[in-house]
Amino acid sequence: MLSLSTLYPHDQAPNFGVFVERQMQAVAKRGDVDLTLINPIGLPPFPLSLHSRYRALRTLPQREVRGGVTVLRPRFTLLPRLGARFNAGAIVRAVLPLARKLHAHQPFDLIDAQFFHPDGLAAVRIGAALGLPVSIKARGADIQYWGHQPATAVQVREAGQHAQGLLAVSQGLVDDMAALGMPRDKITLHRTGLDADLFRPYDRRMCRDQFSLPRDKPVLATVGALIPRKGQRFVIEGLADLPEAILLIAGKGEDEAMLRGLAHDLGLAERVRFLGAVPHAELPILLNAADIFVLPSSSEGLANAWVEALACGTPVVTTPIPGAQELITDPDWGRLVPREGRAIAEAVKALLADRPSAERVQAAVAGMSWQTNAAALVEHWRRLAAA
């Protein structure tokens, strides 16, 4: 297997695509797949390359083994903010020579892409050059955002139409892909996985002590990039109707200054705590410290954060988007509400007034594991390779 994923953790961004890494580590542990993962790293031309962010990326090793997975990192030329339409072609130019060399040494059976843009189209073009079938997985924004942007929509559709097999993390995403013109009969539902040994109920009081939180006040948590799509601003607005509640915000992104300013303007700054990027291994403590997990996204495939919160016994308040409607089908597991502060506050009050047991909430994700996820993924690959 050759897997292509621009979405993959490394030492400079250890949380970036951690769910892809967990999946691939579960595949590697099976022992029946010889897996090579290529994680192309985009670097801009001089003088943009002198920016501290990109200088750090240049120090990443071009080859390393992470959790049993061999990760190769060729560099491609990236045009920040302006070059989305060119990224797939740039990745092909960077990866194809390496893929040819690896394929000549030990032939691959299949090429896999873990995201539709820019990975998907790049994988299709590399697969065509090497005469190999291609699988592409859709996770959410790659279809719901990039599939509708003028610069990339045609590329997303082309990738879906030419790949031999497609995966989607939710039925709603299957419908979105079909609406873009991708053959529905090529799409297989493949939900996310879960590390149930890590994400499980802990002692809530001890978890609160880790964050110096009071034990007798309601605590809300939200986890995700601080970007408009995730909707953290609506959680802050809802906090105004929850006079004793404390909000923990985990994540970094372009909205941070706006969110801090909003909390200040609403007189809530002392009750909103910005935690920055919380290491993935520490998220269970955060999720267990909270009474309710809130993530009013405008779009998602099947958010890992929902799954991980539920596994910790923490009910979820989110929006009635398709992936959430598929996952949260019991009122004990959470509430689906509009992206409005007042609606969020009312949902939180209802859950706090009749708090379900952690065991009851956990039932939402019963049977989900990275082992099950990997088994389904390998079976999908085998079917394509044998076709």
Structure confidence by residue, pLDDT tens digits, 230-287: 999 999 999 999 999 999 999 999 999 999 999 999 999 999 999 999 999 999 999 9
> 204-365: same fold as 2-193+369-386?
yes
Full 3-state SS string of 347-374? HHHHHHHCCCCHHHHHHHHCCCCHHHHH
Cα–Cα distances (Å) from 38 to 9, 78, 121, 262, in that order, read 12, 17, 15, 41
Whole-prediction pTM value? 0.91
CA atoms of 173 and 143, how far apart (whole Å): 8
Which residue is associated with the tokens 């989900």? Answer: 368
Rounded to an integer, the average pLDDT of 98-106 is: 97
Q: Which helix (H) or strand (E) holds 112?
A: strand 111-113
Structure confidence by residue, pLDDT tens digits, 334-383: 999 999 999 999 999 999 999 999 999 999 999 999 999 999 999 999 99
Helix, coil or strand: residue 71 = strand
Closest alpha carbon to 198 in 22, 73, 329:
22
Residue 51 has pLDDT above 90, yes or no: no
Residue 290 has pLDDT above 80, yes or no: yes
CATH of domain 2-193+369-386: 3.40.50.2000
Which residue is associated with the tokens 């529905």? Answer: 184
Question: Domain 204-365, what architecture?
Answer: 3-Layer(aba) Sandwich (3.40)
Structure confidence by residue, pLDDT tens digits, 161-190: 999 999 999 999 999 999 999 999 999 999
CA atoms of 303 and 246, how far apart (whole Å): 23
Chain-wide mean pLDDT for the chain? Answer: 95
Q: Locate the domains of the chain by residue range.
A: 2-193+369-386, 204-365
Structure confidence by residue, pLDDT tens digits, 113-132: 999 999 999 999 999 999 99
